[in-house]
Amino acid sequence: MTTESVRAPVALVTGANKGIGLETARRLAEAGYRVYLTARSSERGRPAAGAVGARFLELEVTSEESVRHAADFVAQAEGHLDVLVNNAGITGPVREVRDYTGDDLAEVLLTNVAGYLRVIHAFLPLLEKSDNPRIVNVSSGLGSFSEFHDRIRAGEFSGTPLYAPAKAAINMLTAQLAHLLPGIRVNAADPGMTATDLSQGQGHSVQDGTDAIITLALAGPGGPTGTFIDRNGEHPW
């Protein structure tokens, strides 16, 4: 373990070769963190990591072997992990509602929900060695029941029957783990409509979209746990 790694807090961000994940990695590195930027592809992930001052680590959240290998690497290099940001996700296919299948939903849940828990499970022993361990699950207002009903009442609708339920599941996963892991602060962050590939470039800047994530990631001891926030504060579940 190097002197540098002892001094600097350690963070890992999944799905970080672009968009919200990349900006999160950049801001954590800027804040003095030793950041592991993970992505499925070294071809895309390595230059992205170099551009923001992070270290690249190949990680495919749907693969037990890949996640375990990444956790073993961080264990050997650092011995602990202070911040885990679960960001990797997919929207799944968008089609006419009658054409959706169970396999469509399974694919989204495998990445967006099971992938989060797979990563948490693998890195939990390293988080438990931190003096101030934090998990930030990137969620969405599309997974909020309160916000959904408000939009329906207002005559608006957005989201799909694949992506929105996956984000709702992440919210419940966050609440459950915050209760069951009292030694680790587990929170959910809503980036809001952010201009990335997932939104076809619509929405506010990636810096605005990462404000809530960074707020939770940089929170000191005694910070919140079991909360769901956006850049303006607490978000309705």
H or E element in which residue 230 lies: strand 228-230
In terms of C-beta density within 10 A (0-12 exposed, 13-18 middle, 19 or more buried), how is residue 4 classed? exposed
CB 61 within 8 A of CB 68: no
**Could you confirm whether 116 is annotated as catalytic?**
no
Say if residue 4's pLDDT is above 70. no
Phi and psi at residue 5, to the nearest 5°: -70, -30
Query: Which residues does residue 138 pair with via DSSP β-bridges, in sequence order?
Result: 189
Say if residue 91's pLDDT is above 50. yes
Region 196-209: what's the mean pLDDT?
81
Residue 206 to residue 184: CA distance in whole angstroms: 27
Region 29-52: what's the mean pLDDT?
97
Residue 131 to residue 115: CA distance in whole angstroms: 25
Say if residue 226's pLDDT is above 60. yes
Could you give the number of structural domains in the chain?
A: 1
The pLDDT, as a whole number, for residue 193 is: 82
Region 47-55: what's the mean pLDDT?
98
CB atoms within 10 A of CB 80: 20
Which residue carries 């989201």 as its tokens?
159
Q: Name which of 174, 169, 66 is nearest 108 in CA terms.
A: 169
**Could you confirm whether 129 is annotated as catalytic?**
no
Residue 142 to residue 190: CA distance in whole angstroms: 9
> H helices of the chain, where?
3-7, 19-30, 42-52, 64-77, 102-109, 115-127, 145-153, 163-180, 206-217
Q: Give the tens place of pLDDT for each residue, 127-185.
A: 999 999 999 999 999 999 998 888 777 667 666 899 999 999 999 999 999 999 999 99
33, 36, 116, 167: the catalytic one is 167
The pLDDT, as a whole number, for residue 158 is: 65
The pLDDT, as a whole number, for residue 150 is: 83
33, 36, 116, 163: the catalytic one is 163
Domain hosting 68: range is: 3-234
For position 212, which CATH number holds?
A: 3.40.50.720
The pLDDT, as a whole number, for residue 3 is: 46
Region 112-139: what's the mean pLDDT?
98
DSSP line for 195-210? SSGGGTT-SB-HHHHH
